[in-house]
Structure 1
Amino acid sequence: MSIAIRDVLSREEMAALCRKSDLRGAWAILQVWLCIAATFALLAAYPTPLTFLLAVFILGGQQLACAVLTHEAAHYTLFKTRWMNEVVTDWLVARPIWTDVKRYRQHHMGHHAHTGTEDDPDMSLVRPFPGSRASLRRKLLRDLSGRSGLRRVIGLIGMDLGILKYTVAADVERLPQEGRTWRDYLRASLRNMGPVLIANGVLAAVLAALGALWVYSAWVVAYLTTFSLYVRIRSIAEHACTEGGPEVLNNTRTTHANWLARLTVAPFRVNYHVEHHLMASVPYYRLKDLHDKLRARGLVQPQPGYRHVLELASAG
């Protein structure tokens, strides 16, 4: 089914849905860091294996929240002010999870332009599905064991050095290296990895000043494990096991998110993905309003939950 959003919503409705707010963007980032701080404080106060596992469970979700806010800024919807999308978001949520707004935006716009087609740069994330239950189980275990995270780190190093083409998908493309010298690799690493090291160094320094540097290890473990798991489940839910093709209603899925999903795989209403692809200029906090309007006009149906989506992905 093909729809044009201008045939569904009035100009006034679209203008209201697309209103952006610097205050709402700042509050979103503050929410993430308050949750991270509270998690670190809990772990420092009660340093047990159970609280460490709980911290890793929560921090992976907050790292995904950072990724989702980076995604918002890539669309210039997190803040009304452009430089806040470019600079504030980059330093406060993108760099701490080893990404950056500019390169992510360049990659992600290709995804929106070619969603569901072979030209989609993210197609490798959904191409393996549906697969068998055993295959999905192996993927999820690789995530939780840290193998996927270590592979991602190696890839990030290659991308930051300019050896690999930047991507957030599973495809690996080597770049030509003829004529490059050690100075070229040094400049690339400083440009790309320098801010990541600064952001994480500041985080570690704050914890050290509070006498709790060791809790930074939970941030690292979460990045290698639960963050990988939540990213995979999110990407499966958004586009895997759909009809494909160029039409949004056929190649994208909105998924119901309960409180646990919102804490882990669906922060900041990222589960409203059909709505996002139909109107990428709508900030995350208005996506439910857009969803409700589309539901009222019979254009979208009740959403399946994440458990149902994983069953679809493992039904091959």
Structure 2
Amino acid sequence: MSDDGVRWVDFRKTLRPRYGIVWRDIGLCYLFLAVGVLAVAVASQVWPAWAAGALVVPAACWTGFWLHSLFLFGHEAAHANLARRRRTNDRLGDWFVWLLYGSTTVNYRHTHMAHHAHLGDHDDTETTYHLCLSVLNMLKAVTGIHVLEVLLRKQRLGETRRKSSRTSSGLLASLRSFAVHAAIVAGLLLAGFHLGALTWVVAVGAVFPLLATVRTIVEHRHLEASCDVDFSVELHGPVNRLFGTGPVSRTFGSAGFNQHLLHHWDPAISYTRFEEMEQFFSRTPLAADMEASRTGYGAAVRTLILEARRG
């Protein structure tokens, strides 16, 4: 209850998703994705080869950044905040977000809800935060080794075998995404935009998985946790943070991930209402917990890197 006598159970009923904002943000992700690839494609036609080639890495970083930003809206779909009707929400999530990421709204929801129920314990289904920010772990992220390790872990836990329908839909989603990426690369190559194709491959295969790995670690890992601790054996415990609300934080931690603490307090609330949510909790005894959890992405990354070096 807030200091003016309002109960959260009553206030939350006023926080309906603002779907127009959600779709505006998704549209911007697609726009900026296209800008990254097309910039290299155009440069390769008008600049000397060496100059256009030098643009590939920064353009891949830009494109990978927006791939990661778009990816987080799959999480918003899992919490049914893309449309009023659940069935419509799930279809929109499948075709406008998960199309690029080899999953479906329903499959991700199944795994993600267990994460909410078991954050920090040994039944958590999203455990990338068990990794420290060491050079080895970042190399694993860039080369795709970490993605393979995650998939193998899920297979060992039987998460992909609990329901045959979910298994088949997941396989179809993976094949669909592979076909989409292959079509994008093939289209760029056929159009003569070889550097554009290379930009897309580097963004998808290296930059995106690196950013996704770093973000998850920063959101949930204890800042003082040593690289020597095996959290598959030791209990990590739940950790959530509030990051900044500037342009970089809002886009790196899009769909409200920059205010992840609020999401874990009430997963049903759309990120489009986090400002009101934070204002409400600032008038409750939980205000102290919010202040204690505040940091910036840069500050958290620096602290975790230093801890990894000490380890």
TM value normalised by structure 1? 0.74
Given that residues 257 and 266 in structure 1 are in contact (C-alpha distance below 8 angstroms), is that contact kept between their aligned partners in structure 2? no
Given that residues 242 and 253 in structure 1 are in contact (C-alpha distance below 8 angstroms), is that contact kept between their aligned partners in structure 2? no
**1:292 and 2:279 aligned:** yes
Residue matched to 1:239: 220
Query: Could you report, residue by residue, the CA deviation over 1:165-221 in whole angstroms, capped at 9, with x for unpaired residues?
Result: 64xxxxx61759xxxxxxxxx978862433213433554466468654652332221
Residues 130-149 of structure 1 aligned to structure 2 (within 5 Å): 136-143=134-141, 146-147=142-143, 149=144
Write the distance in 2 (CA, Å) between the matches of 1:219 and 1:271. 26
Residue matched to 2:42: 45
Displacement after TM superposition at 1:262 (Å): 3.8
Residue matched to 2:60: 56
Residues 295-314 of structure 1 aligned to structure 2 (within 5 Å): 295-297=282-284, 298-299=287-288, 300-301=290-291, 303-313=294-304, 314=306
Identity score, percent:
22
How many residues align? The count is 277
Residue matched to 2:257: 270
Write the distance in 1 (CA, Å) between the matches of 2:65 and 2:170. 28
Residue matched to 2:210: 229
Q: Where in structure 1 are there 5+ consecutive unaligned residues?
A: 130-134, 167-171, 177-185
Write the distance in 2 (CA, Å) between the matches of 1:187 and 1:276. 30
CA separation of 1:136 and 1:8: change in aligned 2, threshold 3 A? farther
Write the distance in 1 (CA, Å) between the matches of 2:170 and 2:121. 33
Runs of 4+ in structure 1 deviating by more than 6 angstroms, as ranges, are 186-189
CA separation of 1:83 and 1:213: change in aligned 2, threshold 3 A? farther
Displacement after TM superposition at 1:81 (Å): 3.0
Write the distance in 2 (CA, Å) between the matches of 1:284 and 1:39. 26
Residue matched to 2:248: 260
Given that residues 32 and 65 in structure 1 are in contact (C-alpha distance below 8 angstroms), is that contact kept between their aligned partners in structure 2? yes
- The Cα RMSD (Å) is 3.5
SS in 2 for 1:59: helix
Query: Could you report, residue by residue, the CA deviation over 1:32-91 in whole angstroms, capped at 9, with x for unpaired residues?
Result: 111111222211111313321122111112121222100110111132232332112212
Select the residue among 189, 192, 198 that pairs with 1:217: 198
Write the distance in 2 (CA, Å) between the matches of 1:234 and 1:43. 27
SS in 2 for 1:98: coil
Given that residues 104 and 170 in structure 2 are in contact (C-alpha distance below 8 angstroms), is that contact kept between their aligned partners in structure 1? no
TM value normalised by structure 2? 0.75
Displacement after TM superposition at 1:100 (Å): 2.2
Write the distance in 2 (CA, Å) between the matches of 1:27 and 1:260. 17
Select the residue among 85, 94, 102 that pairs with 1:98: 102
